[in-house]
Amino acid sequence: MSNSTVCSKEPFDPNEAARSSKNNAQPDHDDPIFLPREYVYTWQDLAYIASLAPLSHVPESLIPSEDIPEPPVIHYAWLIDDRVRKHLLEEAKRRGLLFYGYRLNVTDPRQLTAPFDPKTEKPDLDEDTSMECAAEAIIKEMGSGRWTDQYINFVLLPNEFNVPAFTVYTNHEIHDPPSDEAIERLRVQLGFTGKPKWYPDGLGFQWIE
């Protein structure tokens, strides 16, 4: 479920994929690891995919089409460092968008059945939801609709899984991406360096029927 429901597509045209910007220019050959398969990626497969990140483009097999409507998700994104995290949380605080919740302590079996007592237990700041809502508010102020279902995500990197990232859009929106000008405005406002890059999703990069 998208966090957009907490904070508050148009049909695919294959001809539109060609205008998905210079960032998606493809070489003559894509790694066969990205071809459709009927079985799940193993941990070894995912480690290999992570070793390829960031990718310079979206592999052709990961561009949605009539034959491949739901390929694994790959994010056109910036990695979130401590500086950007602090900035997004400050924006969330300024806008009254800080969210709090209780973390489940699986080492304490009492927490599996006993309700939390707000009088004695202090909730933790939900940084991901707070940053998500701040990002949604910032992009809305830019006069844009939603660019993707969720902005704060986790991606694969060499030797690292679940690295936090700010998604501009994914391969599932590649037929109608935001303009280069809008992306640059957002980059300047949030303080990211350089252009976004393509990163495989860190929580569920799999072929699913």
Query: What is the helix, strand, coil percentage profile of the chain, to 5?
Result: 35, 15, 50
Separation between Cα atoms, residue 73 and residue 88, nearest integer Å? 24
Helix spans in 52-173 (H): 82-94, 127-141
Given this model, what pLDDT does residue 16 score? 41
Give the chain's mean pLDDT: 83
Closest CA to 166 of 187, 188, 146: 187
Cα diameter, the chain: 62
Higher pLDDT, 37 or 107: 37
Given this model, what pLDDT does residue 21 score? 37
pLDDT in tens, 130-173: 999 999 999 889 887 778 889 999 999 999 989 999 999 999 99
pLDDT in tens, 164-188: 999 999 999 999 999 999 999 999 9
Global model pTM greater than 0.95: no
